[in-house]
Amino acid sequence: MKAIIQSSLGTASLVYDFPVPKIQDDQILVKTVAVAVNPIDWMKIDGFPAIGAKQGHDYSGIVLEVGAKVTRGFQKGDRVCGYVRGGDGRNPDNGAFAEYIIAKGELQLRIPEKTSFEEASSIASGAVTAGMGLYQKLGLQRPNALKPGEGEYMLIYGGSTASAVIGIQLSALSGYKVLTTSSKRNFSFVESLGASKVFDYENPDCGSLIREYSGNQGVKIVWDTISTPSSAEICAQAISSGGQYVSLLPVKFPRTDVHASFMDATTAFGEPYEYGPDKILIPSDLEAFEFAKTWIREFEGIWEEGKVRAHAIEVGKDGLSGVLEGIERLRKKEVSAKKLVFRVMDTPEKW
């Protein structure tokens, strides 16, 4: 079958002879319809040695086979989308960028009736990441626990990222007054998600303005979806002493009076994996897996009810071949406030 693999560190290639994977008891086999590209895709290709491993994390498709231990009630023919771990050196069959994929059954989502495959392919990684970051790591009240705006101020840094798009909506549903950052051109979009106030991250006073807006004490809860030294610095200016800061990538936080930690959403799979260029072995996290199982069911209901919407998408051409161009666009930081989506059936045949 057609698939995108890491052919060397820093390079991904489209191959036409990748074997169709066989499912394990806790997995489903899916005929892929659409895939979405994320920044983590190029980061893994460039920095995680996993030669020959399938790439990609976000997909939508049709169920072909269901493992005996899957309890989600999936049946052949169901429309599903979800989150898988691409670039997995220990399990090279994992990954979304292929004609057929295997996926952990408990962590996949049913697609609402009126939602297209293209739109659905863009939502799952953000849903899992936001759920784990906000509710497992930061301990926020769950959606609908408070009335809108009844809770305290919190900061989600990087408001137009895929994870923040979901996170802002969920935090607002949970009653929090969400402060966020973006470029000026994305202010209206981010405000439409439910943010109480948006700040221009290019303003040198961004951090102090956030602190002032929240009452000069600083916010107690910060989720940094950009996770660079510059984003950490702005968050450090905005957060109160004793506050909680969670980032999506390992980044040094410039204050010691704050509880700072890093999260990796792929711990949701409950399986050991190798992280980074040194292939550090991360043990399985069964607590994260149990959380993700319950969260996926909760999120599926919220999505079905129309209380959250997926990221804006741009549907590209040439299927999996186009994915390679999409990855390069993300690498060059040419994409903002949308996700690039590709239809697998549009992949050109091998000449």
**DSSP SS3 for 31:** strand
Beta bridge partners of 198: 180
Q: What is the spatial distance between Cα 64 and Cα 333, in angstroms, rounded to a whole number?
A: 36
pLDDT at 11 over 70: yes
pLDDT tens per residue, range 203-241: 999 999 999 999 888 999 999 999 999 999 999 999 999
Strands 3-8 and 11-15: antiparallel
Q: Is 202 found in the same domain as 106?
A: no
Query: Which residues in 313-345 are b (16+ Cβ under 10 Å) and which e?
Result: bebbebbbbbbbebbeebbeeeeebbbbbbbbe
Q: What is the spatial distance between Cα 210 and Cα 156, in angstroms, rounded to a whole number?
A: 11
> Is 285 part of a structural domain of the chain?
no
Give me the helices (H) in the chain, please: 39-47, 117-120, 124-131, 162-173, 187-192, 206-213, 229-238, 286-304, 319-331
> Is 268 part of a structural domain of the chain?
no
pLDDT of residue 351: 63
Q: Is 209 found in the same domain as 116?
A: no
Q: Is 310 found in the same domain as 193?
A: no
Of 348, 296, 351, the C-alpha closest to 324 is 348
- The number of domains in the chain is 2
Q: What is the spatial distance between Cα 218 and Cα 235, in angstroms, rounded to a whole number?
A: 10
pLDDT of residue 151: 82
Residue entry with tokens 């439409």: 192
Is 228 or 311 the better-scoring residue by pLDDT? 228
> Is 118 part of a structural domain of the chain?
yes
Q: Is 181 found in the same domain as 102?
A: no
Mean pLDDT for the chain overall: 96
pLDDT band at residue 62 using 50, 70 and 90 as cut-offs: very high
The CATH code of the domain that includes 204 is 3.40.50.720
Q: Is 140 found in the same domain as 85?
A: no
Q: Is 132 found in the same domain as 119?
A: no
Other beta carbons within 10 Å of 77 = 8
Q: Is 82 found in the same domain as 63?
A: yes
> Is 279 part of a structural domain of the chain?
no
Q: Is 246 found in the same domain as 134?
A: yes
> Is 288 part of a structural domain of the chain?
no
pLDDT of residue 211: 97
Cross-sheet strand order for the sheet of 259-262: 197-200, 177-182, 153-157, 219-224, 239-247, 259-262
Query: CA 29: distance to chain centroid?
Result: 21
pLDDT at 59 over 80: yes
Query: CA 212: distance to chain centroid?
Result: 30
Query: Which residues in 182-212 are b (16+ Cβ under 10 Å) and which e?
Result: beeebbebbbebbbbbbbebeeeebbebbbe
Q: Is 150 found in the same domain as 101?
A: no
Q: Is 117 found in the same domain as 164?
A: no
pLDDT of residue 56: 99
**Final residue in a domain of this structure, among 211, 243, 263:** 263
The CATH code of the domain that includes 15 is 3.90.180.10
Q: Is 15 found in the same domain as 112?
A: yes
Q: What is the spatial distance between Cα 33 and Cα 161, in angstroms, rounded to a whole number?
A: 23
pLDDT tens per residue, range 39-51: 999 999 999 999 9
Domain with 185 in it:
128-263
Of 153, 160, 202, 161, the C-alpha closest to 179 is 153
Q: By the 8 A CB rule, do 29 and 23 touch? A: yes
> Is 246 part of a structural domain of the chain?
yes
Q: Is 256 found in the same domain as 325?
A: no
Q: State pTM to two decimals.
A: 0.95
Q: Phi and psi of 273, rounded to 5°?
A: -155, 165
Tokens of 13: 């290639």
Strands 280-282 and 273-275: antiparallel
> Is 54 part of a structural domain of the chain?
yes
> Is 275 part of a structural domain of the chain?
no
Q: Please classify residue 293 by burial: count the beta carbons closer than 10 Å to its beta carbon, then call 0-12 exposed, 13-18 middle and 19+ buried.
A: middle
pLDDT at 146 over 70: no
**Final residue in a domain of this structure, among 263, 288, 322:** 263
